[in-house]
């Protein structure tokens, strides 16, 4: 009688299964070689981050839920959409490695009692970092499970005391064509800076996350270093990267139509 169940040593390791799943999804969507090429280089990638951030990252509260489902590190850090660095999946990891992310300032403005330009270190100082394992979905029909490290956005916003008439929160990405080749590309159809926004109730939801790290390290530049938004119940284009501006506004919904989405 033959054994219909595979032996333990015959079971495909989860990291190989996950990699095949992502590769096949890319091929099925017509991403083809441009998507697969993102995995061609096995050079180890390490992102310890600035010195001031390292103790906080090392001491972040670990998410112990379903760690077996996490996308392998080399996939999560090499298969990216970050059009500021190029539109191919492998462009960000190739083009962003010299991206300067420290020092980094974020301008907080709009309908809040406290506003101004703030160093990233000051923005998250005193807020305990926590890890959250998040399913990250793209409109292109692929997804990843990523262990982001950061703080709930509502705790960051609370420091600036948003006023009662603030209905939305607007975010902007850095504009720096010298560092970001995608911004100087003649083929780009995006008007820079890239902008995104949330309703205030969405921004204050505890699942809305401001990430400064992933996989136990600082955010890689191709993943949105040094600080990015993570909105797990929305498609990935809402999770704006390399944020330099946070603005609370009272415009009506019609007044927000200037936001431009990208996959």
Residue 2 forms part of a structural domain: no
Residue 162 forms part of a structural domain: yes
| Model pLDDT for residues 203-262, shown as the tens digit of each residue | 999 999 999 999 999 999 999 999 999 999 999 999 999 999 999 999 754 444 444 434
Residue 56 forms part of a structural domain: yes
| Mean pLDDT calculated for residue range 92-105 | 96
> What pLDDT, on the 0 to 100 scale, is given for residue 263?
34
- For the entire predicted model, the pTM comes to 0.81
Q: Whole domain around residue 147: which residue ranges?
A: 11-256
> What pLDDT, on the 0 to 100 scale, is given for residue 187?
75
Closest CA to 35 of 19, 23, 45: 23
Residue 228 forms part of a structural domain: yes
Residue 5 forms part of a structural domain: no
| Number of domains the chain is built from | 1
d(Cα 258, Cα 237) in Å, to the nearest integer? 15
User: Residue 115 burial by CB count (10 A; 0-12/13-18/19+): exposed, middle or buried?
Assistant: middle
Residue 6 forms part of a structural domain: no
Q: Mean of the per-residue pLDDT values for the chain?
A: 84
d(Cα 132, Cα 32) in Å, to the nearest integer? 31
The CB-side HSE value for 148 (13 A sphere, CA atoms) comes to: 26
User: Residue 127 burial by CB count (10 A; 0-12/13-18/19+): exposed, middle or buried?
Assistant: middle
> What pLDDT, on the 0 to 100 scale, is given for residue 238?
95
> What pLDDT, on the 0 to 100 scale, is given for residue 17?
45
Residue 66 forms part of a structural domain: yes
> What pLDDT, on the 0 to 100 scale, is given for residue 44?
72
Residue 261 forms part of a structural domain: no
Closest CA to 196 of 212, 176, 173, 180: 173
CATH number at residue 158: 3.90.420.10
């Amino acid at each position: 009688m033959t054994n219909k169940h595979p032996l333990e040593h015959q079971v495909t390791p989860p990291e190989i299964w996950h990699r095949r799943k992502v590769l096949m999804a890319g091929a099925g969507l017509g991403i083809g070689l441009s998507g697969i090429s993102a995995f061609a280089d096995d050079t180890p990638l390490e992102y310890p981050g600035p010195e001031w951030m390292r103790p906080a990252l090392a001491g972040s509260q670990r998410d112990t839920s379903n760690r077996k489902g996490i996308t392998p590190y080399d996939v999560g850090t090499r298969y990216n959409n970050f059009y500021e660095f190029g539109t191919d999946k492998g462009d960000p990891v190739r083009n962003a490695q010299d991206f300067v992310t420290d020092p980094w300032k974020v301008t907080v403005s709009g309908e809040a009692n406290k506003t101004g330009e703030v160093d990233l270190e000051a923005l998250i100082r005193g807020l305990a970092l926590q890890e959250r394992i998040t399913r990250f979905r793209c409109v292109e029909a692929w997804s990843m499970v990523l262990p982001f490290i950061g703080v709930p956005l509502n705790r960051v916003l609370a420091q600036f005391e948003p006023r009662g008439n603030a209905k939305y929160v607007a975010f902007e990405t850095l504009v720096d064509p010298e560092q970001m080749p995608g911004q100087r590309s003649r083929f780009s159809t995006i008007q820079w800076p890239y902008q995104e926004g949330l309703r205030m109730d969405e921004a204050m939801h505890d699942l809305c996350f401001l990430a400064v790290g992933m996989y136990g390290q600082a955010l890689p530049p191709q993943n949105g270093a040094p600080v990015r938004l993570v909105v797990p119940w929305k498609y990935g284009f809402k999770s704006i990267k390399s944020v330099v501006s946070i603005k609370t506004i009272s415009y009506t919904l019609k007044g927000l139509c200037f936001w431009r989405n990208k996959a």
